[in-house]
């Protein structure tokens, strides 16, 4: 598996997004653990989660605990895995999402995440989504404090625009290592943030890089150019999509969600797929 860098930490060029294993429509735990183990077997050593990745109101942190159990069951081979989690988004249990960027709440949430993950310090902690009721600098200031206190080892943000990236860098004293935004063939409005991260040398982690849980199955039908290239190179349309994103900048590390071993094995193969400049240009139109 080819490597890329988050804050000086080498990780696999493709990560695993844990959300589908914990929200509505999730598989049973055995299949989820098999999916995580398949990712590790394929060389993936970056797993993205959040305390909000759960279905019911009384199971906050479901995905974090699931990942912790899976890594423990895998044994010493999981020791080098970077688990990236997030705080600031909430799910009240009715299928909706709410936000809480209060600094004290974020500090409590991070410590609870560390407990659920079974770690002394979280490898990468990300502010999940801006809260319009709280000044952005105040929320990111909580992440800075967690970094200073050693509760987290690296700091990131998610769902941020260019101005917020710059503000977060300033608040964190230049220690911002990652930005996690939605980006896919169908959702390209984060192109500016991707390019800004490339200029700054900050890792850019596309979430829903294949279009999301509901739409991934229609990727080829909706984006014919990606299927055309897949036919040319003899790969799946999903591998081509991820390889295209990798080709956009060396800071890009897609984190496709998966709930089946075969899905994450296929995604992992994108790290070895090299597209021509002409193919990348055709897909970037």
| Domains held by the chain: number | 1
Of 279, 278, 262, 276, residue with least CA distance to 41: 262
Prediction pTM value: 0.94
CATH number at residue 24: 3.20.20.100
Cβ atoms < 10 Å from Cβ of 278:
9
Assign 270 a pLDDT band (cuts: 50, 70, 90).
Answer: very high
What CA–CA distance (Å, rounded) separates 217 from 186?
Answer: 13
Instruction: Kindly report, residue by residue over 202-249, the tens digit of the pLDDT.
Output: 999 999 999 887 777 888 888 999 999 999 999 999 999 999 999 999
Per-residue pLDDT at 285 = 86
Domain membership of residue 149 as a residue range? 3-217+249-260
Annotated catalytic sites, by residue? 53
Mean pLDDT confidence for 245-259: 97
Residue 278: band (very low, low, confident or very high) from pLDDT cuts 50, 70, 90: very high
Report yes or no on 151 lying in a domain. Answer: yes
> Does the residue 59 lie in any domain?
yes
Query: What pLDDT sits at residue 95?
Result: 86
Query: How many other CB atoms are found less than 10 A from the CB of residue 119?
Result: 16
Cα gap 273→144, rounded to integer Å = 37
Residues contacting 14, CB < 8 A, separation 6+: 1, 44, 46, 242, 246, 253, 254, 255, 256, 267, 268, 270, 271
Domain assignment present for 191: yes
Tens of pLDDT, residues 148-191: 999 999 999 999 999 999 999 999 999 999 999 999 999 999 99
Q: Work out the burial of residue 225: count CB atoms within 10 Å of its CB; fewer than 13 is exposed, 13-18 middle, 19 or more buried.
A: middle
Domain-located, residue 14 = yes
**Cα separation values, 116 from 2, 182, 222, 248, 268, Å:** 30, 26, 39, 35, 27
> Residue 259 is encoded by which pair of tokens?
């709930």
């Amino acid at each position: 598996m080819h490597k890329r860098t988050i804050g000086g930490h080498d990780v696999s060029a493709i990560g695993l997004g844990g959300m589908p294993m914990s929200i509505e429509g999730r598989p049973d735990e055995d299949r989820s653990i098999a999916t995580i183990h398949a990712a590790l077997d394929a060389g993936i050593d970056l797993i993205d989660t959040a305390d909000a990745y759960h279905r019911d109101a009384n199971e906050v942190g479901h995905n974090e605990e699931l990942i912790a159990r899976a890594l423990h069951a895998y044994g010493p081979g999981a020791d080098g895995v970077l688990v990236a989690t997030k705080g600031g988004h909430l799910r009240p249990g009715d299928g909706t999402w709410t936000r809480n960027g209060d600094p004290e709440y974020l500090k409590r949430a991070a410590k609870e995440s560390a407990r659920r993950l079974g770690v002394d310090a979280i490898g990468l902690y990300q502010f999940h989504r801006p809260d319009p009721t709280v000044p952005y600098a105040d929320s990111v200031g909580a992440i800075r404090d967690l970094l200073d206190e050693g509760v987290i080892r690296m700091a990131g943000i998610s769902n941020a625009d260019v101005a917020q990236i710059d503000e977060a860098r300033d608040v964190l004293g230049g220690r911002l290592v990652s930005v996690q935004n939605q980006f896919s063939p169908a959702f390209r409005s984060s192109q500016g943030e991707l390019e800004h991260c490339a200029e700054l040398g900050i890792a850019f982690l596309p979430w829903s890089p294949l279009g999301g849980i509901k739409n991934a199955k229609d990727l080829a039908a909706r984006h014919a150019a990606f299927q055309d290239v897949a036919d040319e190179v003899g790969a799946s349309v999903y591998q081509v999509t991820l390889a295209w994103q990798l080709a956009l900048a060396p800071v890009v590390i897609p984190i496709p969600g998966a709930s089946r071993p075969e899905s994450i094995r296929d995604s992992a193969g994108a790290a070895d797929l090299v597209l021509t400049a002409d193919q990348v240009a055709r897909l970037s139109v």
